Every structure is written in structure tokens, then in C-alpha cells.
Structure 1
Amino acid sequence: MAMSRIIFTRDEILNIRDSTPSDLCPNFLASPVDLQDLLTSARISNGCVSVLRIYDRDSLVRIKESMEGLFDTRGRYKQAFPPPFIIDPDSPEYLLLCRAPGKVRRKSRKRGSRSGVQVKRRRAAARLGPAIFGHGERVRCLYRIPLLNVCDSTSTLPSAWTTMTVLEPTQRWSSGQRLSSPPRSSVFTPVPARSSRSPRDRCLRPIPLRSADTASVTSSTLHIGLLNARSIANKSFSLNDLFTREKLDLMCLSETWQREEEFIHLNELCPAGCSAVGKPRPCRRGGGLAVVYKDSCTCKVTQTQEYTSFESQMVRVGSSNPFYCVSIYRPPGPAAVFLKDFSDFLTSIISLESVLILGDFNLHVDDSSSCSAKELLSLTEAFNFEQHVSEPTHQKGHILDLVFTLGLDISNVSVQDVHLSDHCFVLFDLHFSPEPKPLEVRSQRRVISANTADSFSAMFDPLLFMDCLDVDNFMHCFTKQCVKILDQVAPVKSNLSIQKKVCPWTNEVTLSLKRLCRKTERLWKATNLEVHRLYLRDLVSSYNEMVENARSDYIRQLVTVNKKNPKVLFDTINSLVCSAAPVTPVFCEADSNTLLRFFTDKIKMIKEKIPPLLCGTPAVIEPVSSLWSSFKSVTLTDISALVTKMKPSSCSSDVLPCRLFVKVFDVIGPWVTKMVNLSLSTGVFPSTFKHAIVEPLLKKTGLDPTVLSNFRPISKLPLLSKILEKVVSEQLSLFLDQGNIHETFQSGFRKLHSTETALLKVSSDIMMSADSGKCTVLVLLDLSSAFDTVDHQILLRRLRDEVGLSGSVLHWFSSYLSGRSFSVTVNQIRSESADLLCGVPQGSVLGPVLFLLYLIPLGKIIQGFPDVSYHMFADDIQLYCSFKPTELQRLSSLVQCLVEIKHWLSDNTLQLNEDKTETLVIAPDDSIPGINQYLGDLGQSVKPSLRNLGVVFDKDMSLVQHCKQLTKSCFFQLRNISKLRKMVSQNDLELITHAFVSSRLDYCNSLFSCLNKKELSRLQLVQNSAARVLTRTNRRTHITPILKALHWLPVSSRINFKILVLTFRALHGQAPPYISDLIQPYTPTRALRSVDQNLLTLPHTRFRTRGDRSFQAVAPRLWNDLLLSLRSMESIDSFKKQLKTYLFAHAFA
């Protein structure tokens, strides 16, 4: 085998000869070669084509610097060292151009800005061509390849050698010879040269040199920025552009000056595919921190201890190999206090290995006379933190913004003046282990055009499934034909889900101004003139204002175009003023399967915690008065009416998209009707409708998406399934109403029932008990995943024995509950399928109705305790017991009732969540301790106030605490609405005001009759402020003409309006029976003229602040004050219209 040699140029070997001993490189060559032989070996050929290896200039300089320390003053080598690279005998020959240490080359004469570099390149090419390939040959294209270190593991190389690069010819020489080269891959793709003047190096590109032990180490780079923004309100779009322009992955902002629960400006500064988390200053104005990050960076807010001398926000970045990013803002104040608190903070995070601390410290670390700055640097150094900022970050020339790292590698630290505040922008790169990239998911959808419906209708052939007598076979043929037609008229298109990077309101005007800003910035950096800096600052401010106006115009046009679609309006408003939901970290099918297992394991754990049968008091089963054994057939008109009333909602498992389904219903309607009747007559629920798609959503905005318990499963079912269930639901409700089977005090999922009617009944009972001198104990029970733990066999027995279902109806419900499954879909990634062995179907029409029927025996058990009253809203159960202060023994009945409820729930596979059980004692303060002694275990759950179906009850039933929270919530919404005035018209703004403010004032406002004048004035102030925001009037303008012009009833009149409407409904059978029982028509004992006046009986009350404020007393008083013409009306719509006119005239008389 021919021996490969390392070949040097003659001049370099002569320089090496005198300074290098004979044993300098014992293993450098394949076999020892004398230096004299090396002189004559300028060109060696062993039968194969030579491959050129040339070091670039930067690598040669690093070799020189690293080798100078290895020679003594006489040029002799001090110690033996391993060779930088061992040449394998099978490898081709190499030419290493290495300069001898200490030799200084004469500086070339400059001929223009780049002539020196080009002269050197041409001279080297002219010399190398004849030396290697003879005269007439020259190098056309070279590219750099890495040299791999194959030394033994004990050898140590100089640090500069691990970053060297070489140059290699890419394809061919001028003579057409083809060279042996390493195997091609995407890594070796030629790139344009650094200069376009010389054709010799147009395919040169740098490749970093890696040693064997570092070649396998991979790292990623995060581009991070730091800025003291001094309010993000007036520069949010400029910050958005800065994030995009600098291609940042993470940006930390201090002094955001944002308020609690204010998200509009955070949403504005987030580019597409990014999110932001903010931490406003809790107590006073100013301050505040925020972190903007790309969604590809998994960020999680971590709670830290609060300190008075500085603000901090810690974010955990990454999942597999995370580091912690801590934003700091220190406001002016005593430095000694800050240093003590900061020392405590560093001590609290001492267990973390990788930490990045950055922010505005307001200490002049560049001032050698600053003792506080010295102590800060000494403190961080003691904790092994390294400070990286060395340039002034403030306009006055001091270093205030600092970057500290522990266990992290950062580089390219720079400071730029971006003209957004008096602080400069700090940029740097952070190197860390890369995170797993999300799976590229291709979304599949059908493009529905204007002609799709007509084409589908023309190709639809019902003869293919006309004779199907089995509902599953019918659905199979129907689905098969629909899919076949859709594949022709609207084929499935697959494309990658790529986030749009350009804002929809970007136009040519904003782009041109943006280009002008960049041009002026380059001019200022070139001239460094103050006039250019001031001009750039004005342009940046103008750009932010222009983008804001462009966005306002876009949103105004969007709302105008979709004027008949309120969903677009509210979705747009929510995207502006509400916090964006964090991205769920689901990147592959395994992640979706993890969520699937969590939901299934959660139900299994609940079922395992339920104790065995406790044999509580069995509920009395009354014989059913009637049986229901068969369904009624439906007509096309019935199905068409259902389709018209149903909300348009689609599911990925739908045969036809909802929009297309409505358009072609005239063609497929008869066959949908046949499918429904076929299912009802055979008692079989189609199996294709039994699979649900679960899309998890966070329970509240701001919750951590990495905690699986923070998700609520939202189940979606096919549209045809909902149509079939709606038909059954209407027939079932009719049967339940005729048989009076419904639970009287159950207000959930029932027509004419609501949370307001439920709370009105409970509060009225409590107020009347308090008027008679009684105390009341209210207990709120919470069930754990009650809908998901329903036992199917128990439910079917209950439908048969207590409801009266039989025959094909009972068989249909049995088929409906059996064989169900679900899968989880997140980020268009679907999990495996899992069986549903228990629970009523979530997201269905019949699921809530079946759950109410499942709880029917519970009401009968509670009725066995005469001293205990109750009310239920779905799975929310309320128990309350009223008693005289001298009759505390009656509380034993409440405790025993609770025990029986626990037994019944366990026997029916339901679990009571005792941790969420809350108790409220409504009694004088001196009586509460004695009452608590009789409550037993319930005494631990007693609270001064509790939230009951959205309304805060307190121990006095004054609703003062609820009024305070309501006022705070409304003013927060008004602040957001005030920032939308430029974006929408006044009519749309009024619609938004009613949706976000008036709806809150009107929620359960029939209970507000117990509010005193002070609290009513607070609510009236909210309405007045809403009117001023809408009409843009100042606070000194008289409010009464404004409310009258808007035709808004005052708050007190709105309360009376709601009470009177409920009274009208109760008198005309349009309210729940328990509301109708609270009022009694007036019947005189003898014939009087008031017999035909439609008056109500006023109950006897003792206290104005108790009984007089209950619905039972307020409703008759307000009703009797109405005009006879109003009391005599029969239509609810006419009554509402005339009542508002009447109240409006009295309010503004």
C-alpha cells in the first residue's frame, strides 16, 4: 500500500527544520520521514488523485498563537505533544500550509477596500496550481471540511486546534480532473463566497473543526434580549417589530407599567407564534416585568418569594434540560436593603444548576467608586455567577442592565440603542441543549367552494342504500357514498400547519415607514450625528402610531363585514383584551396518549376510592304511573326544524362539514329522516356515533399547561348524532313532564330553570327564616367528576323502575350507553382509542338529562329529614337547615342527612369531594361558636363567605362582598373597553359594553333587593362610567341626560324589572313551581272592588333588613304598585316592552 505523506511548502519546511527536533511529530506521518526527504517530496503520487487540504487564514493564526507557548526563546520545543491529526494510511495526500512560529510577513500594500485580501488569494492560487498540478492548472472551487481528531483519549490538543477549518476543492479543476472527496450530504452544500469579485472562491464556506470527543455534542442557541421599556403601552408594536427584526427567542422587559389582569398591550407586542407572561407591580404604579418567548420554547412561570426592595419573575425554559431565567427590576431605594434581599434570593435558588439572571439593577457597576456596585459583583461572584455586560446600557453612560449566568454559556453580548427608552437593548446568545422539535403535522381539510353544494346534490344517489333495514349498514352506505362524492367535488388537501408571520393589518404604508426607520438607523450608525438620532426616534414613534391605526382600521372593517356574526366580534375582542392561552406541549402521538391515560386513570382512581356498599337508607321507589315502550316517528319537517335551531358546530368525525350539510339538506334530508326513524324503530343507536373526539382545554386562563389536572376534557360528537339525540330528548322531556317525574328542586338543564331561580328560592327562604328570628346553616356539596362515574347498569335499572321506560325505548338507551369510546386530539395529533365503561356521554344532548334522572332518588332521601331543605343544580347540591337559637339539636338532623347522602352516593358509584365542601352559618356573631359545636366535622368547613353558583353569600346575606367583587370586575372590563374605542363603531362598542359589563350587572340581580343604598350607588357608578366611556364624556358632565339618551334604565330600575318579569312568569306558569309557590294571588274574604285587580298577597314580615328584602315580600309589593293595564297583560313580550317604558318614565321623570 502506498504511503501517504504530509506535504509542506519548501519555505515552511526550511523554517521548521531549525526550530523542531527530530522527534517533534513521531506519529504525524504514516511512517517516520526525515526532514531532508520531506524537502524533496514536494509532490508525491501513489497512483491516486491527490486531494487538496488548505488551512484558512484564521485557523493559521490560531495555530501560531497556540504553538508559540510551546517553544522556548531559542525556538526549541519544550515538551512532547501529540500530533493534531493522524493521517490514516488509506487516506489521500494532504497539503498543509503552516507558517513557522515567529515569522512576520510583510504587510501587503492596500489597493482599495478589499484589494489586500484578493491579492493574497490570487497569489496563493497562482503558487498552488503549478506546485501541485503543474503549469496551467489552477483551483476553481474550494470548500472547507472538518478535520477529525483520531488521537488516543489521553492526548491533549491546544485549544485553538479544536476550532480549525480547512479548505477542500468542491468539484473539479480547470483541467476537468475529478478529485476524490468525502461523501456528499446536505452539510457539504456549496454556498456563495464572501466576495463576488474573484471567481476562485465563490464556493468556499466555513465548517468548524471538531475533535472526536466533542463531535457528538449538540447544542442549540437562543437569541435573548433585555430592555427596560419604561411602559409598553405606547411602544408595543415597536417592541413587536424589535422581537421579529432581531430574530429573538426570548425577550425580558422591565418597567412594563402594566396593571393587574391587563393583557391588551402584552398581546400587541407578541408576534405570531409567540406568547408573553407578565407580572405587574402589585401595590403601586410603575414597575412590572414581562417575558416574551416563542412557543417553541417551553416556558413555565415558577413562583418565588416576594421581596420589597426589588421585583422578580422566574421562568423555567425548556423541558428536558431546562434552565431558569430570572428577570429583575430594582427601583431606586436603599442599596443595603436590596443587597440583603438579593443575597437571600440567591440563597433560595442555590440548588439550581443553570440560572440566567438579568434585568435593571439601577447600580453603576462601571463606577469603581460605587461601594454598592462592588458589593453586588462580589456577592454574585461568591455564588459563582458571572457578569457579561461591559458596555454602558443607559443614555447617561452607565451600566445599569446586567446579565449574570451560572452554569450557562453565552456569547455575542452587544448593547444597542433602539430608541424606545432611555435604556439600551442588551443582546446575547445562550447555548444550551436543544429541545425536541414538534412533529410536523399536516392538516387535512376539504375546501368547500360555492359550487360544491350543487355538485354534491347532483351526484347524490339514494338508491344505493334505499333498501337498508339495519341502521349500522344504512350509515355505512350513506357515509361511503358521501365520502366518495366529496373526494371528487372537494378532495382532501394536506398542508403543513404553519403559523402566519405577517400581521393581517400590515400594509404598504407601514412597510415603507418601517424600511425608512431601518434606513435612518443605518445612517445614524454611520454618521453618529445627534440630528440623525433624533430623526430616528421620531420615526420609531410614528411607526408605532401608524401600526396602531392600521390595526384599528383592520378590526373595524372585520367587525363591519361580520356584523351578523357576533362570534367574530367577541372572538376578536377576546384576542385583544384577554390573556392568550398557552400552547399545549403535545408534539407527538405519545403526548396525546399521555393525556388519554390521565383522563382514564382519573376515573379509575375515583372509582377505587369509593367505599363498598354501605347499605344506607334505601330510597322509596314509587310505582310508575305510565310506561313508555316505543318512540314516535318523525317527519322531514321535524328534522328540518331541529337543524334550523341547532347551533352550527362541526367535529372531525362528521360525514359532511356542518356548512355543507345545511346547504345540501334539501337533498339528504329525507334520508337523514329515514336514518332517525330506523334507529328509533329498531332500538339501536348507530355505532359510528359512539366515538367521541376529546379536545382538552385549560380550566382557567394562565394555568400551567404541563400540569395535566389543569385540563378539562371537551368532548365532540358528530352532527348527525346530535340530531338523533335531540329527537329522543324532546320525546323524553314530554314523557317526563306528563308523568311529573322531574325532581322539583332540580334546576340544572331544565327549561325555564336557571341559576337565578335556584338562588332566588334559597335566599328567599333564608331571609324569611332570619326575619322570624331563626339561624340557618348552608352546606354546599361538591361531587368529583360526577358525570363520568355514573354506572350504566344502575342507570338502566333506574330508567326502567323509576322512570317507566320499556320495550324498544329501553333497548335504545341500552344501545346508546354501550360500546362507547373516545380519543384525545391536541394540536391535530390524535391519540389511541379508549373505551368508556361508565359515565354519561360528555358533549351529548342526552347526557345531562340522564344524569338528572340518575339523581332522582337523592331528593327523596333528603325529603325524609323534615328540618332539612335542599336545592340542586346538576351535580351542585345545597343543604340548608333553619332553627331557633334555642333549638340547636335540630342540627343533628342535618348531620345525619349528610351521612345518608354519603351512603347513597357510594352505593351509586359517586364520590363526595369533602375537601371542597363549604359551610356558611347565617346567624348573629355571638351564636356562631355554639352552632359550630353541633356541626361535627362540618365545623372545619365553615367560612365567613362562600361563592354559590356565581354569587357570594355572606353571614348577613347582605351581598356586600359580592358587590365589591362585581364592581372590581366591571371596572377592569371598562378599562379594556376604553382601549377599543378607536377600533369599533359606537354601535358595536355599545354591544361590547352590554356583553362585558351590563351582563355582569344583570346576572342574578333579582337577589340585589337586599343591597343597601351604599352598595347600590357603587353599582350605579359602574353603569355611569360605562355610559361615559361609550359616549366619551368627561366625569363633570351630568349623567342623567346621558343615560336617558342611551335609553338605559338605572341599576335600581333594572333590579325591579327583573323581579317583576319573574313575577309575571310565575303567575302565568312560565317559571319553576318553587318560584310560583313564593307568591300568592290576593283573595279578599268578602266581595270587594279589588277582586279583579290582579293583586298579590303581602306576607307578614318583622324586619325591614330581612323579611322585607326577600323575593317573597318584594315581588308582591312591586307588582301591586304597577298599573292595572300592566298587571292584566297576557303576553310576556308585550309585558316586557310596556314595563320598561313604565320604569323608564318613572326613573327620568
Structure 2
Amino acid sequence: MLDAQPQSATASFPSKLCFSALALQLTRKSTEILCILLHVYLNRETCSAQAHTPVTCSVSQQTLPPLVLLSVACGDDTVNSLQILKDCWRLYQDTVKEAKRKYFSKIFSSNSHNPRVLFKSIDSVLNAPQSGCLEASHKLSNDFMCFFIEKVATTRALISSTESDPSVLIPCSAVFNQFEPVSLSYLEDVVGHLRPSGSPNDPVPPQFFKEIFPSIGQAVLTVINSSLISGVVPANFKHAVVQPLLKKPALDHTVLANYRRISKLSFMSKILEKIVHCQLMDFLNENGILEVFQSGFKNFHSTESALLKVFNDILLTCDSGNHVVLVLLDLTAAFDTVDHNILLSRLHHLAGIRGTALKWFRSYLCDRTFSVNFLGYESSSATFQSGVPQGSILGPLLFSLYLQPLGTILRRHGISFHCYADDCQIYLPLKQKEAFSIKPLLACLEDIKSWMSLNFLRCNSSKTEVILFGPSGPCEPPAIDLGPLAEYFKSVVTNLGFKMDSDFKLDSQIRATVKSSFYHLRRLAKIRPILSRPHLETVIHAFISCRLDYCNALYCGVSQHLLSRLQLVQNSAARLLTKTRKREHITPILASLHWLPVYHRVHFKILMFVFKCLNGLAPTYLSELLHPYSPPRSLRSADKLLLEVPRSKRKLRGDRAFSIAAPNLWNNLPQHIREAPSLSTFKTHLKTHFYSLA
């Protein structure tokens, strides 16, 4: 009977919303009305919940305050009073621990794929020392706002203009004129798959929005389709709430430059952006408009696939007896300095976006505003004069289209490259017969610099890194003249979070992985008492397994000594989870957990890439590295789904390249695994196969 009234209140809401939905179609302020409806609904439901389920101190009711019993025991020297105190204190502690366990179990269950939330939760349990915090105020929030504006303005002011454009633009023959309205069922599917993240100014939390969507779906559909048809983005969809976040805990918290700008957009705006993104991506993919060697924020693409391609090219070049120079470029505030007029021109000429669709993007980019919210204090609003929205769904795609001409410059100079968002990798073979000349690379970098200046982009020289690779052993600058690039030379560089060394040993990467993994294992050991085993395993996968698996396809051919260090991390994680003593044999424990050893995890990852390449689930640049085996004459092996294995000269170079190592591993699999009809089936059979080998 207690919950009867809230249910009736909820049930009556859709009927009232039907009338409101009709009003939405008759007014231009549809988004404002929807926000008001959500506010009213939330307030009424909150009041109903508080009236029928008021907050109670259940823990206090279950246990008498121990301090009260302590005073009783001190005044009474009987053993009975002391025992009551002990029992009460034990019950109190057990109740608090159970409440803690339930609270954090719920957090860990709902955020198993969100390491940031998990890390923050663990910090709250361990009471991690804070480096300090600024005293929040409206003035400080306004100071942050001014700082972020001045930072972008200063960056653009430092860019020296140039009159010549080294890029050659090829107009797009395909045309995209307008977005198609969506159905309610499609919209419901989009909302259901969106991550529940929004803005602090959202009328209701995103998760609650998703739960009540069946009641408000028709109203949301009206707002979305009105924007798609008219080519106008509602003004409140274009406001971002910026929350400053200290880049590293050890940095000085009083220096505003040490804070990173975290932009949060409304959940409704993300729904609209997701629909636009899907329709635009379908058009771009169908017409082959996107840059092939841009792996940022694309389906089937990742940092690992990008590094696998670059690593493969470098290893094959070194296997042929040549050297390779790799230049890593980083752009300063790249997303913030994008010029809106240039971007709209790119969308028009390079992507073929015209008509209402181009009008929509113009509305999307213009008159965007933001305010800074620091610890609950919000600044006044300011306007974005440039840049693509950070924290948005469309931002990365628009930025990749903005960078599109960069590929034409690099290809004209014969330079190999790969990009991941604003991180650019440029590499060139250095041949002995050409005296290891880097002149083509220097000429290309000059053209890139000119193009960036023309497009209000600036290379961050402090983060530019150069490394040399050789056919045998590490390569140093004295052996090859790098000219003006010598000042950026390093023997170990960090490429998309992965440390690459000039000798391909990868010991620096493995050392860093082991260090960070054991740090997190020590922290997890402290909170093990308040976590159930399933939740502890979830956290271990989020903090340890993901580190062991990050770009582990590149570990192919690495020495067993280095892999054993990673295996030690996995063994320690398994012992922590199962409470196993150090002297007990680890192999049965890993088998009981269904954890593949590190060595087999490397081969497992490579073979997963192979299956995806053969079934259209991987980037084109990886699929093109694999070729079906075609025997010179009719043989039974022609029907076994084998791959051609290219020849190599050096075991520590060519044999480690994906295009050689992957076919070798694939051809050694049992035929029934190679013939798996789906990815899930292949994954299951492959795991079973490796378990039998472990």
C-alpha cells in the first residue's frame, strides 16, 4: 500500500504528457517545454518518494551507539556489561562493513567499464591524500573561464599566417543534402545504447532520462526531428558546462594552467548528435570520403590497430636492411583552434555536404557558449569563437574532416603516415644508397607547417619526438644525420600511450606496465575486505588485465624473460582474487579462473585481428596485409582457409611483423577454428584451444 500513490502518479504522467507533446508541435520553444515537463515530473516523483519512503537511520536502529554502552560498562564492572559492549561494537562494525560492501558493490557493478569512476571510488575508500584544492567561488570560476578563453586566443595569435596553401583539394562528387527524420523505435534504440553522461545543468540525470523515455519519447522525437528538418540546433543544446580537472595529482593546484578543460554537454544534445553522426558516417563510408589512415573514433579502429600497422611497416623496412625515422607530431589545443569558416568549407567541398545539412552544421558550430562550474560555483557564460565542441559525439569526426588535406601533402612527398585524432605519426625509410637522406621528410614538414598555419593549427614542439630504427641493434643520431630533427631525438618515445624503443625490445613499455599494475594491485589489496569476489574480479580486469592487454599484439616475438615479468603481474592478481598463498602452484589457479597466460594472450589478440580482417570487422589497412593462400596447382590445402606467409630475412625484425606473424599463427590453428561462422564462436573455440596448450 505504501507504494500505491507513487505508481499512480507515474502512471498519470504519460497521459498529461500527450497533451504537452501536442503543444510541442505548435511552438518553437519545444525544448524549453520539455525541460519544464521533466523538472515538474522529477520534483513530483521526489516528493512522492520522500513522503512514502523517508530517509531512516537503519544502521543506528540495528545497533545501540557503542559509546553509550561504553559509558554503561565503565559504571558497571560486571562481565555481562563488558560482553554486551563487545557484542554491540562487533555488530556495529559488521553492519557498517556490510553497508559499505553493498554501496561499493553497486558502484562497481554499474561502472565495470568505466575505470575513471572505479578509480575515484577506490580513492574515496582509501582516503588518498589530496594535493590541495582551491577555495571555490564565483570569482574563481570566472577566472577559469577567462583563462580558457585567453589560452585559445593566445594559441591562435602565435600562429603566423601564410599565403600559400601546399594542399591540393579534390572536390567531392557525392552530395549529402539533408538529414532524414527518425522513427520513435529508432530513437528509443539510440537512447538505449547511449552512455548515461550529460551536463550538470540537465533537468534530470541521464540514467533517469533513459528510464522514463517511454513516457517522454514522443516529445523528444518532436524536438529531434524538428532540428533535422529545419537545419537549426536549439540554443540550449549548444551550451557546455566546463569542469576544470587537475591534469596530475602532483601538480600545483593554484596554477590554472595545470587544469584540463572537461566539457559536458546536455544528454539531449548527445541524442541529436548521435543521430546526425550515424547518418553522416553512412554517407562518408559509402562514398569513401574519410582518410584511410585516420584511426581516431572510427568503428573497428583503435590505437592498437594504428600501432600494429605502423609497427608492421617499420619492421618490414628494417627487415629489408634499411633504417626508418619516425616523427611523432602533437598539436597544441587542436580541437580549440579549428576555424569555423574553414571547417564549413571542408564540409562543403571535401565531404559534399550541402543544403539543409550544411545549414544544420553552420547552426551547430555558431553561437556556442560555455560556462565554468568549479565545485558547484558556476561562472557567467561566454561564446566559443573557434573550435569543435569537446566532449561531443560529432567533434572528433569534424576534426578528422578538418585534417583531411594533411594526407594529400604527405602522399605528395611519398611519406608514410598514420593519425589518431590529432596525434600524427610520420615515418620514412632511409636507404643507404641515398646516403640516408632525410630531405624529403624535411620538405614535407615545411609544407605541413605552412598548411597548419593557414588552418590555425600549431605543432607543439615540446611534445614532438623523433626516433630511429635500424635493421640490427639500436640506432643513434651520429650514424645518421637528422639535421634540425636531432634536437627531438629520443631512444624511447611514447606513441599513443605505448613506449617504443629503437631496438624493438619493448622493455621500457613492459617495465612501465609492471610498475603501474603492481601499484594498483597494492591498492586493491587494501579494499579486498569490502568487495565480493565477483566485484573484485571486475575491478582487477579494469585496472590490471586492461594494462596487460593494451597493445599486446605488439609483444609478438618479445623475449620470454620480459613476458615473464608481465606473467608475474597476472599471477599476483590471481592470488589476490583467490586468496592463494605464494607457494601454491599458479597454473591450476589461472585455469580455474579461465585466464589465459600472457604468452597465449598475445597470440590470442593477433588471431582475433586476423579473424576480424577476414570478415570485414577490421580496418582496411590491416585487412590488406593478409592474403589467402593460393597453391600453384590444385591441392587439398586450397580449401583449408590458409593465408600466404611472406618471406623474411631477420627473425627479430620481419618475423615479428603482423603481415608475417599473423599468417603463421593462423595456419597453425585447427581447421574447425578457422572455419568458425561468427566472432563469438571463433573466440570460444580459440580460448579452448589455448587452454589445452597452457
Which residue matches 2:558? 1011
Which residue matches 1:457? 14
C-alpha distance in 1, partners of 2:93/2:523? Answer: 16
Which residue matches 1:603? 152
Residues paired across the two proteins, number:
674
How far 1:510 sits from its partner (Å)?
9.4
C-alpha distance in 1, partners of 2:190/2:635? Answer: 50
Which residue matches 1:874? 421
Structure 1 counterpart SS, 2:369: strand
Is 1:772 aligned to 2:326, yes or no? no
- Asked if structure 2 preserves the Cα contact closer than 8 Å seen for 1:990 and 1:1030, the reply is yes
Which residue matches 1:947? 494
Which residue matches 1:565? 110
Structure 1 counterpart SS, 2:513: helix
**Structure 1 residues 783-816: Cα deviation after superposition (integer angstroms, max 9, x where no partner):** 0110011000000000001100001010111011
Change (3 A) 1:1096 1:544: farther
Which residue matches 1:1076? 623
Change (3 A) 1:507 1:770: farther
Which residue matches 1:735? 283
How far 1:656 sits from its partner (Å)?
3.9
Is 1:643 aligned to 2:191, yes or no? yes
1:683 maps to a residue whose letter is G
Change (3 A) 1:926 1:703: closer
C-alpha distance in 2, partners of 1:1022/1:928? Answer: 33
Is 1:615 aligned to 2:171, yes or no? no
**Structure 1 residues 118-158: Cα deviation after superposition (integer angstroms, max 9, x where no partner):** xxxxxxxxxxxxxxxxxxxxxxxxxxxxxxxxxxxxxxxxx
C-alpha distance in 2, partners of 1:504/1:648? Answer: 30
C-alpha distance in 2, partners of 1:658/1:725? Answer: 15
Which residue matches 2:53? none
1111-1120 or 966-975, larger mean C-alpha shift? 966-975
**Structure 1 residues 364-415: Cα deviation after superposition (integer angstroms, max 9, x where no partner):** xxxxxxxxxxxxxxxxxxxxxxxxxxxxxxxxxxxxxxxxxxxxxxxxxxxx
Change (3 A) 1:693 1:563: closer
Structure 2 counterpart SS, 1:839: coil
Which residue matches 1:851? 399
**Structure 1 residues 1104-1124: Cα deviation after superposition (integer angstroms, max 9, x where no partner):** 111111212110010000111
Equivalent residue in structure 1 for 2:181, among 619, 633, 636: 633
**Identity percentage over the alignment?**
41
Which residue matches 1:512? 66
How far 1:888 sits from its partner (Å)?
3.7
Alignment of 1:191-340 (within 5 A): none
Alignment of 1:397-546 (within 5 A): 453-462=10-19, 465-466=22-23, 468=25, 472-483=28-39, 511-512=65-66, 516=70
C-alpha distance in 2, partners of 1:879/1:492? Answer: 61
Is 1:957 aligned to 2:504, yes or no? yes
Is 1:1107 aligned to 2:654, yes or no? yes
C-alpha distance in 1, partners of 2:104/2:168? Answer: 58
Structure with the largest fraction of strand:
1
How far 1:486 sits from its partner (Å)?
5.4
Larger radius of gyration: 1
- Asked if structure 2 preserves the Cα contact closer than 8 Å seen for 1:958 and 1:1010, the reply is no
How far 1:456 sits from its partner (Å)?
3.3
Which residue matches 1:1061? 608
- Asked if structure 2 preserves the Cα contact closer than 8 Å seen for 1:559 and 1:569, the reply is no
1:612 maps to a residue whose letter is S
Change (3 A) 1:550 1:656: closer
**Structure 1 residues 225-257: Cα deviation after superposition (integer angstroms, max 9, x where no partner):** xxxxxxxxxxxxxxxxxxxxxxxxxxxxxxxxx
- Asked if structure 1 preserves the Cα contact closer than 8 Å seen for 2:553 and 2:605, the reply is yes
- Asked if structure 2 preserves the Cα contact closer than 8 Å seen for 1:625 and 1:739, the reply is no
Which residue matches 2:353? 805
C-alpha distance in 2, partners of 1:585/1:449? Answer: 42
1:742 maps to a residue whose letter is L
CA RMSD of aligned residues (A): 3.2
**Structure 1 residues 272-305: Cα deviation after superposition (integer angstroms, max 9, x where no partner):** xxxxxxxxxxxxxxxxxxxxxxxxxxxxxxxxxx
How far 1:1086 sits from its partner (Å)?
1.6
1:1099 maps to a residue whose letter is P
Equivalent residue in structure 2 for 1:592, among 141, 144, 148: 141
- Asked if structure 1 preserves the Cα contact closer than 8 Å seen for 2:474 and 2:503, the reply is no
- Asked if structure 1 preserves the Cα contact closer than 8 Å seen for 2:108 and 2:538, the reply is no
C-alpha distance in 1, partners of 2:40/2:99? Answer: 40
How far 1:1085 sits from its partner (Å)?
1.8
1:473 maps to a residue whose letter is K
How far 1:969 sits from its partner (Å)?
1.6
**Structure 1 residues 481-520: Cα deviation after superposition (integer angstroms, max 9, x where no partner):** 5545656665799xxxxxxxxx998898695269749997
Structure with the largest fraction of helix:
2
C-alpha distance in 2, partners of 1:484/1:977? Answer: 43
How far 1:929 sits from its partner (Å)?
3.3
Alignment of 1:36-115 (within 5 A): none
Is 1:694 aligned to 2:248, yes or no? no
C-alpha distance in 1, partners of 2:88/2:492? Answer: 51
C-alpha distance in 2, partners of 1:467/1:1127? Answer: 55
Structure 2 counterpart SS, 1:995: helix
Contiguous gaps of at least 5 residues in structure 1: 1-447, 494-502, 524-535
C-alpha distance in 2, partners of 1:949/1:586? Answer: 35
C-alpha distance in 1, partners of 2:354/2:151? Answer: 34
Alignment of 1:984-995 (within 5 A): 984-995=531-542
Change (3 A) 1:490 1:994: closer
- Asked if structure 2 preserves the Cα contact closer than 8 Å seen for 1:790 and 1:910, the reply is yes
How far 1:728 sits from its partner (Å)?
0.6
How far 1:765 sits from its partner (Å)?
1.1
Equivalent residue in structure 2 for 1:1118, among 665, 668, 673: 665
Change (3 A) 1:506 1:861: farther
Which residue matches 1:1027? 574
Alignment of 1:857-1006 (within 5 A): 857-866=405-414, 868-923=415-470, 928-931=476-479, 933=481, 935-1006=482-553
C-alpha distance in 2, partners of 1:1142/1:926? Answer: 37
- Asked if structure 2 preserves the Cα contact closer than 8 Å seen for 1:630 and 1:809, the reply is yes
Alignment of 1:2-21 (within 5 A): none
Equivalent residue in structure 1 for 2:340, among 774, 792, 800: 792
Change (3 A) 1:510 1:974: farther
Contiguous gaps of at least 5 residues in structure 2: 50-56, 77-81
- Asked if structure 2 preserves the Cα contact closer than 8 Å seen for 1:452 and 1:490, the reply is no
C-alpha distance in 2, partners of 1:544/1:916? Answer: 56
Equivalent residue in structure 1 for 2:378, among 822, 830, 835: 830
2:30 maps to a residue whose letter is F
- Asked if structure 2 preserves the Cα contact closer than 8 Å seen for 1:614 and 1:906, the reply is no
Structure 1 counterpart SS, 2:529: coil
Structure 2 counterpart SS, 1:788: coil
Structure 1 counterpart SS, 2:318: helix
C-alpha distance in 1, partners of 2:442/2:73? Answer: 78
- Asked if structure 1 preserves the Cα contact closer than 8 Å seen for 2:469 and 2:475, the reply is no
**Structure 1 residues 720-764: Cα deviation after superposition (integer angstroms, max 9, x where no partner):** 111111111100000000110110110001000000001111111
Alignment of 1:671-686 (within 5 A): 671-686=219-234
With the length of structure 1 as denominator, give the TM-score of the two structures. 0.55
1:1024 maps to a residue whose letter is N
2:413 maps to a residue whose letter is F
- Asked if structure 2 preserves the Cα contact closer than 8 Å seen for 1:514 and 1:543, the reply is no
C-alpha distance in 2, partners of 1:873/1:1134? Answer: 31
Equivalent residue in structure 2 for 1:723, among 254, 262, 271: 271
**Structure 1 residues 584-611: Cα deviation after superposition (integer angstroms, max 9, x where no partner):** 4243211110010000010010011010
Change (3 A) 1:876 1:926: closer
